[in-house]
Structure 1
Amino acid sequence: MDPIVIGAALRAADIETYREWLLEKPRDLEVQDFIDADLLSGDWSARVDEVKRLIDGHTGRLGIHGPFWGFTIHSKDPDVRAVVAKRMEQGLDVCDALGATQMVIHSPYTTWDYNNMDNNPGARDMVVENVHATLGAAVKRAEDMGVTLVVENIEDVDPADRRHLVESFDSPAIAISIDTGHAHYAHHSTGAPPVDYFVRDAGALLRHVHLQDADGYADRHWAIGEGTILWTSVFRALAELEQTPHLVLELRDKGGIPASMAYLKGLGLAE
């Protein structure tokens, strides 16, 4: 396995600290400022200009984390769907202004869904129908822009549910994201498979990975090496892919980036 170049998920306030590291190789960058509704509904152009200034000379791939607070993408309520659709459009506006080619959004599947969808006739199809009603316009616009919406696992127990949802769009503008800590939590706490199984199930649809370590009990976002994820198995599964997804460290304490890189370098997995 050859080492893979790793990037990070950062807010503008943190980019300057890691600017030299981001620019030394073609590292993926995910800008996370634009998850906030207040910013999206206000004048976000100054934040875009600030990010552009900070990443001048960056040669890696650029994405953003899209909005997610306070909603789900599979609501049955048409009024709620309208608000979510608006947030998706605002996120795509930012992608257009920033030059980002990827936007992370959150999976609709909950632990309750896993245990109850087959208990309620038609429930599986209803989730897909509601997501199409919510995201249909955004996916079409993303196609026209050359942007990919990547659906990140949150509570997902069976990775195939999210894959089937993404496949139902039959569009290059929607794909899969994996958060390693979320998958590890689901594995230990709700009976999901281990992280490498998530990678293999996503296969050719995997376009983005949040790298964070955890203990399987909570969403820790610890530095790599502080938790119990079996990183060699994760990177072995990634190495089997024909494509290289955006790979970004998503740590609660950004000060853990150097230690995370040192840990992965020590295993010969990343650079």
Structure 2
Amino acid sequence: MVDKVLLSASLANVKDTVDLAVQKGLGVEVMAFAYPHILDGDWQATVTEYKALLADVPGELTLHGPFMDMVSGSPDPRINAVCMTRYSAAIRIAAELGAKQIVFHANFIGSLHNDFYREGWHERNVQFWPSVADYAHEYGVTLLLENMWEFDPTIIGNLLRDVNHPHLRACFDVGHAHLFSKPEYHWSYWLDVMHPWIDEIHMNNNNGILDEHHGFDWDQGVLNYHDVLAEIRRLCPDADMVLEMDSVDDMRDSLHYFQLGEAAWRSS
């Protein structure tokens, strides 16, 4: 079985990332349209530029959506309106680029463990996301909620269960689950809870303290990706596996962990 591997293309490394994806027969997740200065600038010119840049990518294209200061399901309707504006713009851009999935953060404030906050957050987000997912459906795009500060996988899992929309699914970030979860909730527990909704997985290594995006074999890394990938293949064999790493060299050096197609190894 061949793994579905994508490379995360930041503003700083997009050309080198695309070159590696083309060389190895992989997909690309585009980060550019996550940033306010792109969305508030000449974004149409950026879309045109990226269309040309991504034209030869042989694998899937996905998009990371806006995440800075987004608070979906806010008690303040004006904040929700800002989120809706950002998200709807990103959905239209994803469709224009030919990306079938777009990642948004779930935006739970992880330092708040009060029951009343969690219950209110859940109720507000159950109301917030269906209309966004309906809008995404119109454009042929599926939304993926990514765990960031959430300390318990059921925060997102229960939301997806209750919204129950085919265009609202999950992106599981292995590093975030390790860093920000309650100590008793191992990353494998997150995978076990969330796998019914997981369509994409973000992967990198960190030192257990900071959310840094290093390669799998980083000498200070605390995650064993032989174990991680074994569980992913067991529970989520069809999920997109995105190498969300800052360095293109780290992405290249981590590819030996994956079961890739023949084209990848012919180019080695």
TM-score by length of 1: 0.87
The residue aligned with 2:191 is: 199
| Range with bigger deviation, 123-132 or 67-76 | 123-132
Cα displacement string for residues 37-91 of structure 1 (whole angstroms, at most 9, x for unaligned residues): 2221332112112211122232311111100112221311111111111111111
The residue aligned with 2:131 is: 137
Percent of aligned pairs with the same amino acid: 25
Structure 1 residue runs without a partner (length 5+): none
CA distance in 1, matches of 2:56, 2:248: 22
- Closer, same or farther: CA 254–146 of 1 in aligned 2, 3 Å: same
Q: Does the CA-based 8 Å contact 1:25-1:60 persist in structure 2?
A: no
1:105 correspondence with 2:99: no
- Closer, same or farther: CA 13–49 of 1 in aligned 2, 3 Å: farther
The residue aligned with 2:87 is: 88
The residue aligned with 1:248 is: 242
Q: Please report how far the alpha carbon of residue 32 of structure 1 lies from its aligned counterpart in structure 2 after TM superposition.
A: 0.2
Q: Please report how far the alpha carbon of residue 23 of structure 1 lies from its aligned counterpart in structure 2 after TM superposition.
A: 2.2
Q: Does the CA-based 8 Å contact 2:26-2:58 persist in structure 1?
A: yes
Q: Does the CA-based 8 Å contact 1:183-1:192 persist in structure 2?
A: no
The residue aligned with 2:30 is: 31
The residue aligned with 1:126 is: 120
- 202, 205, 215: which is aligned to 2:207? 215
The residue aligned with 2:41 is: 42
The residue aligned with 1:73 is: 72
**Stretches of 4+ aligned residues off by more than 6 angstroms:** 268-271
- 142, 161, 173: which is aligned to 1:179? 173
Q: Please report how far the alpha carbon of residue 192 of structure 1 lies from its aligned counterpart in structure 2 after TM superposition.
A: 5.0
The residue aligned with 2:50 is: 51
Cα displacement string for residues 208-264 of structure 1 (whole angstroms, at most 9, x for unaligned residues): 1111101211101111121110212211211123651121111123332222224x2
Q: Please report how far the alpha carbon of residue 169 of structure 1 lies from its aligned counterpart in structure 2 after TM superposition.
A: 1.5
Cα displacement string for residues 151-184 of structure 1 (whole angstroms, at most 9, x for unaligned residues): 1111111111101111221111111111111111
The residue aligned with 2:114 is: 116
- Closer, same or farther: CA 100–164 of 1 in aligned 2, 3 Å: same
The residue aligned with 1:146 is: 140
CA distance in 1, matches of 2:31, 2:184: 27
Give the count of matched residue pairs: 260
> Quick one: which amino acid aligns to residue 234 of structure 2?
E
Structure 2 residue runs without a partner (length 5+): none
Q: Please report how far the alpha carbon of residue 186 of structure 1 lies from its aligned counterpart in structure 2 after TM superposition.
A: 2.2
CA distance in 2, matches of 1:39, 1:259: 30
- Closer, same or farther: CA 143–125 of 1 in aligned 2, 3 Å: farther
TM-score by length of 2: 0.88
The residue aligned with 1:11 is: 10
- Closer, same or farther: CA 125–109 of 1 in aligned 2, 3 Å: same
The residue aligned with 1:163 is: 157
The residue aligned with 1:63 is: 62
Q: Does the CA-based 8 Å contact 1:64-1:95 persist in structure 2?
A: yes
Q: Please report how far the alpha carbon of residue 25 of structure 1 lies from its aligned counterpart in structure 2 after TM superposition.
A: 4.9
The RMSD of aligned alpha carbons is: 2.2
